[in-house]
């Protein structure tokens, strides 16, 4: 019996010399590396965290149809979105205001890994490294995210800085009031020095724009003011936080060249709908030609296929990329991206999609 067993050829499809065999090990390592406080900061939502959980679980309701013999063995995962060639349809999401707590190289590591994996990066204004430092670290830095607040001229000045540094698009966000994050309240979490954003003046805490960003008694913005700034912007703008037909219409009317469907991973207001459930409505309103990126709940390659089938041109990777950063810096993000791309590739193959543009609602057997 023993001899016979030795003859059995081992199936080594899953054997790998890589440090992390799958995303499970990356998550495990990230958990080991982070304190409870920082882990909670990464994962928290708001209120009861219903939306943060629903963002992930809502994907389960989209069930694929896989007709026998329809699958193919060599799908092409490449695409082009917002003027960037991508090895698979993904950007790293703008996650800031503490990402250097996950790893001191923060957005520098994320950008280098994105470049090595052949995708592009969205860089937050609240990053621990300046927008110029991140752009200098890798050519992946494609989109600069900034929150609309303060004086219009200061916002436009910052956009000029982003253009001079080589970014191709601005991602506009807005937040009228602070968020109710109970895990952080319970942890009495306060951002240590390492989490201080670098994009502001030398004294930072004296910088008028940073003060505005953190001061929620500031004057509100509205679509008219947003439209004025978008019209004067030196770079094309996409608007993040579009989760309805009404907002899609308003953002396009205000001059946005693209839409970003997201509820910020459930970190803004609890009991908003899971983002994946609003995507098809936004695509329907925008029509076929407006670029749409999507995030909130992407955890694996098949989630990317689901979002594209429902109308996204690409996804943004938030917590899943942050876990790679926390596990192993640049190498951890790179491995995360490679695993996501490879699973997306197998998903396309099983669905019989030879290219990204073949994904449509026809891949589903049932939808909620
Ligand atoms: C730790 C952390 C910090 C974030 N900071 C920002 C930010 O500065 N600007 C922004 O637009 N979104 C920010 N986000 C939201 C992400 O860009 C993205 O929308 C969200 O992570 C997507 O949800 P998911 O992580 O569940 O996929 C942050 C998210 C996390 C987890």
* Nearest atom (ligand 1) to Cα of 43: 31
* pLDDT tier at 8, thresholds 50, 70, 90: low
The half-sphere exposure of 134 on its side-chain side, counting CA atoms within 13 A, is 37
Query: Is pLDDT above 80 for 9?
Result: no
- Which two three-digit tokens encode residue 197? 């954003």
User: What's the gap in Å between 212 CA and the centre of ligand 1?
Assistant: 20
The pLDDT value given to residue 206: 57
Pocket test for ligand 1, best of 173, 264, 296, 300 (most atoms within 8 A of CB): 264
- The alpha-helical segments, DSSP class H, found in 143-215 are 152-165, 182-186, 208-214
CA of 188 to the centre of ligand 1 (A): 20
Q: Which pLDDT does position 201 carry in this prediction?
A: 65
Residue 179 has pLDDT above 60, yes or no: yes
Element (H, E) at 177: none
Mean pLDDT of 144-158: 90
Instruction: List pocket residues of ligand 1, CB cut-off 6 Å.
Output: 42, 55, 93-98, 124, 126, 145, 173, 240, 262, 264-265, 267, 295-298, 318-319, 322
**Ligand 1 midpoint to CA 206 (Å):** 26
Instruction: Give the tens place of pLDDT for each residue, 245-280.
Output: 999 999 999 999 999 999 999 999 999 999 999 999
Return the higher-pLDDT residue of 360 and 198.
Answer: 360
298: closest CA among 254, 265, 272? 265
- Give the pLDDT score at 1: 45
* Closest atom of ligand 1 to CA, residue 127: 8
CA quadruple 352, 84, 315, 287: dihedral sign? negative
Q: pTM score > 0.75 for this model?
A: yes
| pLDDT value of residue 223 | 96
Beta bridge partners of 196: none
CA 320 to centroid of ligand 1, rounded, Å: 10
Q: Is 206 exposed, middle or buried (0-12, 13-18, 19+ CB in 10 A)?
A: exposed
291-328 confidence digits (pLDDT tens): 999 999 999 999 999 999 999 999 999 999 999 999 99
- State how far the Cα of 88 lies from the Cα of 62, in Å rounded to an integer: 21
Summarised one tens digit per residue, pLDDT across range 116-140 is 999 999 999 999 999 999 999 999 9
**pLDDT reported for residue 125:** 94
Residue 268 Cα distances to 4, 52, 219, 241, 271, angstroms: 60, 10, 19, 10, 10
Q: Give, using CA atoms, the residue closest to atom 28 of ligand 1.
A: 95
Please state, in angstroms and rounded to a whole number, the distance separating the CA atoms of residues 134 and 122: 10
**Could you tell me the distance, in angstroms and rounded to a whole number, from the CA of residue 92 to the centre of ligand 1?**
10
Architecture of domain 19-63+80-188+233-344: Alpha-Beta Barrel (3.20)
Residue 86's closest CA among 291, 290, 251?
A: 291
Calpha distance 123→142 (Å, rounded) = 8
Q: How far is the CA of 337 from the centre of ligand 1 (A)?
A: 17
Residue 215 has pLDDT above 90, yes or no: no
Mutate to test the pocket of ligand 1, among 37, 53, 95 (most ligand atoms within 8 A of CB): 95
The CA 345 to ligand 1 mean position distance, Å, reads: 25
Q: Ligand 1 atom closest to Cα of 97?
A: 8
Q: How far is the CA of 94 from the centre of ligand 1 (A)?
A: 6
CA distance 100 to 165: 21
Across 279-286, average pLDDT: 98
pLDDT tens per residue across span 71-126: 999 999 999 999 999 999 999 999 998 999 999 999 999 999 999 999 999 999 99
CA 168/CA 142 separation, integer angstroms: 5
CA atoms within 13 A on the CB side of 259: 33
Cα separation, 300 vs 316, in Å, equals 12
Which of 267, 278, 304 to mutate for ligand 1's pocket (most ligand atoms within 8 Å of CB)?
Answer: 267
Phi then psi dihedrals of residue 361, to 5 deg? -60, -15
178: confidence class by pLDDT, cuts 50, 70, 90? confident
């Amino acid at each position: 019996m023993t001899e016979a067993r030795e003859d059995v050829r081992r199936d080594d499809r899953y054997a790998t010399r890589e440090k992390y065999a799958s995303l499970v090990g990356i998550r495990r390592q990230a958990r080991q590396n982070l304190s409870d406080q920082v882990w909670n900061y990464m994962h928290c939502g708001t209120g009861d965290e219903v939306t943060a959980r629903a963002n992930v679980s809502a994907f389960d309701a989209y069930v694929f149809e896989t007709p026998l013999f329809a699958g193919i063995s060599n799908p092409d995962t490449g695409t082009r979105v917002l003027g960037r060639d991508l090895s698979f349809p993904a950007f790293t999401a703008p996650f800031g205001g503490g990402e250097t707590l996950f790893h001191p190289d923060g957005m520098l590591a994320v950008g280098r890994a994105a470049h090595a994996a052949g995708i592009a990066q969205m860089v937050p204004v609240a990053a621990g490294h300046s927008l110029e430092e991140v752009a200098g670290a890798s050519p992946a830095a494609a989109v600069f995210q900034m929150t609309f607040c303060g004086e219009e001229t200061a916002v436009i000045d910052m956009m000029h800085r982003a253009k001079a540094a080589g970014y191709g698009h601005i991602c506009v966000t807005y937040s009228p009031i602070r968020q109710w994050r109970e895990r952080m309240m319970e942890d009495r979490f306060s951002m240590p020095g390492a989490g201080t954003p670098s994009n502001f003046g030398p004294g930072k805490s004296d910088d008028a724009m940073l003060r505005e960003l953190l001061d929620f008694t500031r004057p509100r913005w509205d679509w008219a003011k947003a439209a004025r700034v978008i019209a004067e912007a030196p770079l094309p703008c996409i608007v993040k936080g579009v989760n309805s037909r009404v907002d899609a219409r308003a953002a396009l009317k205000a001059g946005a060249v693209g839409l970003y469907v997201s509820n910020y991973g459930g970190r803004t207001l609890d009991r908003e709908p899971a983002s994946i459930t609003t995507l098809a409505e936004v695509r329907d309103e925008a029509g076929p030609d407006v670029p749409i990126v999507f995030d909130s709940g992407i955890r694996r390659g098949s989630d990317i296929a689901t979002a594209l089938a429902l109308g996204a041109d690409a996804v943004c990777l938030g917590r899943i990329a942050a876990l790679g950063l926390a596990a192993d810096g640049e190498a951890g993000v790179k491995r995360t991206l490679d695993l996501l791309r490879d699973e997306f590739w197998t998903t396309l193959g099983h669905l019989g999609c030879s290219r990204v543009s073949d994904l449509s609602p026809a891949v589903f057997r049932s939808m909620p």
